[in-house]
A = this chain, B = another copy of it.
Amino acid sequence: MTLRVFGDSISGNCLKVKWTLDYLGLAHDWIETSVLEAETRTEEFLALNPAGQVPTVVLADGRPLAQSNAIILHFAEGSALIPADPYARARMLEWMFWEQYSHEPYVAVARFQVAYLGKSPADLDAKLVARAHGALQRLEDALGAGAFLVGDDCSLADIALVAYTRVAPEGGLTLAPYPAVQAWITRVEAALNITD
């Protein structure tokens, strides 16, 4: 059976998986699964992933796997998207865990509330916005030193971080103060052939 990806196209976490599979040339069926329409809360879906989250993939042999960053680490093993050097690989993982803990809960949540729940950017929680800008500033500082987050090549760290950074303005978070971030988004999109 073909690899199946249960994903919501509006979710950066899900797009990470699509971009990685496309980059690696791995054929897959994309099964559009809407979070807003609670399609991640059906009995069938919860049997695949009790956490009720997308992305969830079902491997060719029928076994499920969840968590965007775990999924892309699994498929990219041995590819150019994971540095061979152990320290560089560890730094890549550092960025990926930081993304889920200190970036996504602010940058992605602001965008979800504004773009999908209809909240005005002015009504966002001030602490949320401050933390989102703190995360963007940290990226800006890091990207002053190099073309990509780890070394000279695009890695899973860039895929994980670009997913919600590139759509931050949809959450009312301007990228104007972050020129290095803007240039990096263009580089990562080019490396991954992201056109939309």
Contact = CB atoms under 8 A, between A and B. Distances in A.
B51 A70 contact: no
Contact of A70 (B50, B65, B96): B96
A51 B102 contact: yes
A74 interface: yes
A93 B105 contact: no
Interface stretch (A84-92, A121-129, A176-184): A84-92
B102 A90 contact: no
Please give the count of copies of this chain that the complex contains: 2
Interface string A132-150: 0000001001100000000
Interface residues of A, number: 33
B93 A70 contact: yes
A66 interface: yes
B94 A65 contact: yes
Interface string A41-63: 00000000011010000010001
A70 B97 contact: yes
A97 B51 CA distance: 12
Given A70-B94, A97-B100, 17 more contacts: A50-B141, A51-B98, A51-B138, A65-B87, A66-B94, A66-B98, A69-B93, A70-B90, A70-B91, A70-B93, A70-B97, A71-B90, A73-B93, A74-B86, A74-B90, A96-B97, A101-B104
Interface of A: 50-51, 53, 59, 63, 65-71, 73-74, 77, 86-87, 89-91, 93-94, 96-98, 100-102, 104-105, 138, 141-142
Q: Lowest 8 A-B CB distances belong to which pairs?
A: A70-B93, A74-B90, A67-B97, A70-B94, A67-B94, A100-B101, A69-B97, A70-B97
